[in-house]
């Protein structure tokens, strides 16, 4: 099995998995918070926040990558501070690929979770609050179990988007084999060289297997959660 892909192709697969997992896990808490804020709260700038969250969906990915480079590059107003104070560099590193993937996938995650929160009857939360439960306790014991299917759906969508992210990633962190070359970047590079069709086919098969595996796993987890919530 290890001989089926070259070491460079395995590196691209492993990096894609690492980038997608890190992007999904790190953006999940922010996704839940923003989705809850958009679904339950009304405040000045609500529409602006909603627009900013969904902006990566409508902007060309290359534009998003360029904005990330301006912001989080070593000369950027955030990237410069992170580099000087913490030694944290995003541009042309795999961490930058994870950041780009997280930002591109964030709207899909927020949308899925927000729809689930909006489907939860606020009267359930209000009833728990009238019994003396604090807002964090209401969220943890009432809201969170009911929105778990939406969280799973949003996480899978974000993971899939991160796995397929190309434009913003290649603009922000380039296409450096072994460092920032994910599967989409590797496929793009192989398509530019004669005789790369076989390697492209292998990577496409791997991508399909990973995507289907994630979907099947999320479906199984969603059914288990639904059974436990129903039993409760």
Is the per-residue pLDDT at 6 higher than 80? yes
Tens-place pLDDT, residues 116-165:
999 888 888 888 888 887 888 888 888 888 898 889 889 988 999 999 89
Cβ distance 110 to 154 under 8 Å?
yes
Cβ distance 61 to 105 under 8 Å?
no
Give the model's pLDDT for residue 229: 61
> What pTM did the predictor assign?
0.88
Q: Please give the mean pLDDT across all residues of the chain.
A: 88
Cβ distance 154 to 144 under 8 Å?
no
Give the model's pLDDT for residue 113: 94
Domains annotated for the chain, with CATH where assigned, are: 7-231 (1.10.3720.10)
How far apart CA 131 and CA 32 sit, in angstroms, is 25
Tens-place pLDDT, residues 44-90:
999 999 999 999 999 999 999 999 999 998 888 898 888 889 888 89
Give the model's pLDDT for residue 100: 95
């Amino acid at each position: 099995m290890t001989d089926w892909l070259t070491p460079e192709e395995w590196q691209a697969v492993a990096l894609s998995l690492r980038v997608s997992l890190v992007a999904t896990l790190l953006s999940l808490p922010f996704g839940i918070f923003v989705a809850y804020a958009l679904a339950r709260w009304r405040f000045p700038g609500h529409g602006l926040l909603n627009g900013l969250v969904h902006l990566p969906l409508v902007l060309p990915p290359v534009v998003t990558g360029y904005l990330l480079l301006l912001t989080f590059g070593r000369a950027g107003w955030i990237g410069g501070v992170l580099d000087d104070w913490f030694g944290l560099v995003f541009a042309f590193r795999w961490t930058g690929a994870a950041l780009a993937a997280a930002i591109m996938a964030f709207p899909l995650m927020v949308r899925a979770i927000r729809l689930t929160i909006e489907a939860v009857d606020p009267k359930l939360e209000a009833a728990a609050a009238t019994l003396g439960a604090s807002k964090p306790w209401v969220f943890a014991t009432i809201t969170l179990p009911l929105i778990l299917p939406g969280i799973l759906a949003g996480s899978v969508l974000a993971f899939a988007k991160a796995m397929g992210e190309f434009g913003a990633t290649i603009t922000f962190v380039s296409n450096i084999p072994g460092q920032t070359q994910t599967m989409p970047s590797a496929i793009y590079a192989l398509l530019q060289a004669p005789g790369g069709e076989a390697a492209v086919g292998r990577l496409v098969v791997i991508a399909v297997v990973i995507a289907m595996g994630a979907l099947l796993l999320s479906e199984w987890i969603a059914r288990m959660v639904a059974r436990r919530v129903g039993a409760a």
